[in-house]
Amino acid sequence: MPKELTIGLVQQACTQDREENIRKLETGIREAHARGAALVLLQELHNGVYFPQTEGEDGFALAETIPGPSTERFGSLAAELGIVLVLSLFEKRAPGLYHNTAAVLEKDGSVAGIYRKTHIPDDPGFYEKYYFTPGDLGIRPVETSAGRIGVLICWDQWYPEAARLMALAGAEMLVYPTAIGYSPSEPEDERERQRGAWITIQRSHAIANGVPVAAINRTGFEPPLSPERDGIHFWGNSFVAGPQGEIMAQTAADRDEVLVATVNLDKTDIIRRAWPFFRDRRVDLYGDLLKRYRD
């Protein structure tokens, strides 16, 4: 198990040209590796534009199996560079059964494990419930040569329950492939509150659980995919936080960027001894967390 782990995050804008998006990702992965990354993270649904911006049958044509074309292609690169790589894919599991799934590739290019997005959003411009069946694999980290990686996906990031379950299941870090942005009509103060909340709640998962957190978001403006929408301005701001929630590195909002940061996985035990939150959890009183609401 490594003590020091260098993580690379590839933040980029996507276009309708899938092959171009993937080539750009490959360039970014190579750059992260050249700068020392042993673990590289890609943004949510990184191969294309964010198709759940609208509901339409065409979207399903983008789905693929796991293993499949993306795990093959990126697996070759992972093996060539000897890195662990976290992909975010539109998974076709069976006819009429699709998931938003992360595939974690080992440094020999094999699939070390997958995670299916647990919490599925649905609001104007983010119509994910139409496409994605909620994950049924539970909330478990993937064991890799770079450590036990707790992959959670986008909407999951708003749920302290998900972060806690990953940590209780032994995750040594939490990573969040993400596609989040503003509507162009949002005023600046509301943008700031949204972006601030997104950063704050993920830093809090680091704090509550004493583990590093990496969030990798897309950037760029993606024009409307249907006449009733107005497009999404993805806000970038990918970051890596240490186990006290301290920001270690962060990208800009508006440009393609490869971010590299080194975390020390041994710090978790040190921090959890100083702040022994796990010692004092009142599991005898938490039963109502399993209810929708306590009326």
Structure tokens at 222: 């993606």
Verify binding: residue 130, a second copy, rule CB under 8 A: no
Question: What amino acid is encoded at 161 in this protein?
Answer: E
123 lines the binding site for a second copy (CB under 8 A)? yes
Strand partners, 84: 39
**Residue 285 token pair:** 């009183």
- Strand partners of residue 86: 41, 104
Q: Is 255 or 281 the residue whose CB approaches a second copy more closely?
A: 281
Q: Which among 154, 172, 222, 257 is annotated as catalytic?
A: 154
Backbone angles phi, psi at 114, to 5 degrees: -130, 160
Region of 12-20, 41-49, 194-202, 232-240 interacting with a second copy (CB under 8 A): 194-202
As a whole number of angstroms, the distance between CA 98 and CA 17 comes to 23
* The binder of a second copy chosen from 39, 105, 120, 225 (CB under 8 A): 120
Contact set for a second copy, span 237-256 (CB under 8 A)? 244-246
Q: How far apart are CA 148 and CA 145, in angstroms?
A: 8
User: Binding of a second copy at residue 276 (CB under 8 A)?
Assistant: yes
- Which of helix, strand or coil describes residue 282? coil
Owner of token pair 């070759």: 76
Catalytic status, residue 106: no
Is residue 19 a contact point for a second copy (CB under 8 A)?
no
Q: How far is CA 245 from the centre of its chain?
A: 17
Q: How many residues in the shown chain lie near a second copy by CB under 8 A?
A: 51
Q: Which is nearer to a second copy, 135 or 177 (by Cβ)?
A: 135
10 Å CB burial of residue 254 (0-12, 13-18, 19+) is middle
The single-letter code of the amino acid at 12 is Q
The active-site residue out of 117, 128, 172, 257 is 117
Q: Taking CB under 8 A as the rule, does residue 188 contact a second copy?
A: no
Give min distance, CB of 123 to a second copy, in A: 7
- State the catalytic residues: 44, 117, 154
Interface residues with a second copy (CB under 8 A) are 118-121, 123, 134, 138-139, 155, 158-161, 164-165, 168-170, 193-194, 196-197, 200-201, 203-204, 207-208, 244-246, 274-278, 280-283, 285-295
